[in-house]
Structure 1
């Protein structure tokens, strides 16, 4: 039985980066990844392919609306085979780099599934047993299938299927209103599919502030998405021409039809079959692996990071968690533990939704005295000339110090703009501190200075 100083189970963003950092402290590191293809969810079936397609759809959308910019572009349409091929070529660059890193000889790579048979021992699916001084679990998540009649039909698409499309579907129903559902619904609509989106909660992007979600809902409906919210899904049926979905809307039963159906109703932690009981690893009520601030599980020799652990299923968070876990496992200094009060997240719809730090809800729950100020993009020079008038920027500051505690931006390129405020949140800067900065005119970013000025004036 071979023993390692550090074993990463899962070679995605969390596991690979943990192994990479661990390799700096030991030459006795193993990575176990039994996936059909190396690379991890982000590279293969998540961030990179989806954002590649979304950006192409944005270019198409601008071309199709050229007259708003005083341009005459007679025709613009998608070439799905070419779009698919471009995505494959781009993803191959990322995948090749990751595979090259994992197979470089720095790590012992096992292309197997693993399960614990003891607190520090795992067995691979080929019968090989390995012992580790320290482990990290970074097994990610899988697509969920809620108990809705008809949802188990084999022909129903998932996000994986949408990202592999090389043809244009005539019509699609998207079930769900989370990040994945919204990004894919808008993508499909922009490339030319007739899209119906059905969300169970009162708003899409239910974790965002209601007025943030409402901006995206307005944009979707303006672009032609048939969006239904506050529904109760009843059943799904296969038809001669595709699928029907029946749901309750304002107390009445409604049925919609489409050629294809996408299940985007969420994901669940991929922890089944890991033998966590044998390892003494506890789960949270939601199925994620329970960890302390150091990413340690209830077995202190086993760490966890990424989607399987939470509390946020975001790639950069998984990377930071994995890196910190490896340093902690070897007793090495460095940044950490993670401060989730500085959390940053982005939704790549158009307008984008970006958020950093504490929300208004969290501030009120903690009884923090704060001031909020916002400013709309439809009254801002650069966004007006860009025909990017949806949304607003909102900043939360502590009273009486003016320290920036959080911010929300829903706008064109909001994911880029939010980083100015992320720097402020992470470094305890005040609104007055940020106003010392030169905010260049005309830029989208200068709009951030307007609520900052209101905060300083009021304080």
Structure 2
């Protein structure tokens, strides 16, 4: 017989945002529940996103370096991918993270409910399949995202892979057509190419990585083509079909009809919020044109009793922001000081090689706000450490407010850009100027030292 229980705070979805919200809510409230009916606990980042993809991408990077051995005076007779062995290593790495997160979710100070939730009114969810009813003072929706299958002619009818499938590959595909030019598409296209597959990447817009700068995208495009990825941008797909043991994609490119054939097809055309079956309308929770839940600066939805965070809200599908959003929502819901997230300090990384990383606002954002800026750039192909590493793709760039001298943003495209960007991210958040940063001892020869060159230009202004 169905029952009813009441909690102070209920999280729906136990990923990065959800666990962070539950943990912070538990600091102030005794009765906190986590509802997660997924087959495996842990959330997208650990199970099917950041950690498995970066584990495999790093293996491919090691392979790529080994294959370049002669450039470094090394004789390496053979270097090739053992996909099954790479999968075993990935599973071992992910299990370590996954088991730790499961332990956190299953801890005694939470009530973990392994069912699915559906809102039936503004403060009540029904659990499926038990039929139990759960009420709460506040809810937090953090159910993540799922692969999107857009309305591309023939895509839904043609067998294809998603990122989940590629991350579980235990064999090397002969050839793969990759649809899309976003972060996931680019990271996995390069992974497959370095593993040894022929890769044809088809992107609708005029360039890949549309959320990065045009200069950054150009560097990655050149690197991809140098590595043998057959990259086509500015296309319009006309049809997708299966023909024998091949997938055929027909598309318009450069004003003419083109055709691509491969043994496999990867749909990397983005993700959408995982909101199906949640009963948002019954809860009075509104979504925007993008399909994401609309929230205010404290992650509160149109229903004051319901908060949301992570991939279901955006504006960026990034794990550290999901954590911050979950923590913010829980503090606000439990009546504690809750300072809104400052997206002007946003840090982002794309794990292609070269990597693309950024921090702060863009020059275009500054212009829209009427802020006059000065920017300076320095290339990796003129930097000692990157030259000796054979890592000469890319550049670093920083820009500052002319009136105050404070750094507003930075971009790094190159070797280990995801690590290098944090020096600038700290400076931007703390309101440092180029002159402040030049007081730092930039050790020679390091990759980090490259920042001192554009900083000297900015300080000179």
Q: Give 2:322's aligned residue.
A: 318
Rounded Cα–Cα distance in structure 2 between residues aligned with 1:189 and 1:349: 12
1:128 and 2:132 correspond = yes
Question: In the alignment, what sits opposite 1:277?
Answer: 281
Task: Indicate whether 1:48 and 2:28 are aligned.
Answer: no
The match for 2:436 among 417, 423, 433 is: 433
Instruction: Give the TM-score normalised by structure 2.
Output: 0.98
Select which of 84, 96, 100 maps to 1:97: 100
Contact 2:158 2:242 in 1 (8 A): no
Partners of 1:59 and 1:159 lie apart in 2 by 21
For 2:243 and 2:98, locate their aligned partners in 1 and report how far apart those are by CA, in whole Å: 38
Root mean square deviation of aligned Cα: 0.9
Matched, 1:116 2:119: yes
1:52-451 alignment runs, 5 A limit: 52-126=55-129, 127-153=131-157, 155-333=159-337, 336-451=339-454
**Quick check: 2:8–2:138 contact (8 Å CA) kept in 1?**
yes
Q: Distance in 1 between matches of 2:280 and 2:72?
A: 58
Please give the secondary structure, in 2, of the residue aligned with 1:81: helix
* Whole-angstrom CA distance in 1 between matches of 2:241 and 2:367: 44
Q: Secondary structure at the match of 2:412?
A: strand
Query: In the aligned structure 2, how far is the partner of 1:55 from the partner of 1:3?
Result: 46
CA distance in structure 1 between the partners assigned to 2:7 and 2:428 by the alignment: 39
SS at match of 1:277: helix
Aligned partner of residue 206 in structure 2, secondary structure: coil
CA deviation map 1:413-454 (0-9, x unaligned) = 000000000001111111111111010000001111111100
Number of residue pairs aligned between Structure 1 and Structure 2: 457
**1:250, 1:196 → 2: CA distance?**
16
Counterpart Cα distance in 1 of 2:435 and 2:289: 43
Residue pair 2:175, 2:198 contacting (<8 A) in 1 also: yes
Gaps of 5+ in 1: none
* Structure 2 stretches lacking a partner, 5+ long: none
Which secondary structure does the structure 1 equivalent of 2:28 belong to? coil
SS of the residue aligned with 1:408? strand
**Structure 1 moving runs of 4+ over 2 Å:** none
Match of 2:11 among 8, 11, 30: 8
Structure 2: distance between partners of 1:355 and 1:49 = 23
Q: Deviations over 1:261-281 (max 9, x none)?
A: 000001111122211111111
1-side partners of 2:299 and 2:192: how far apart?
A: 38
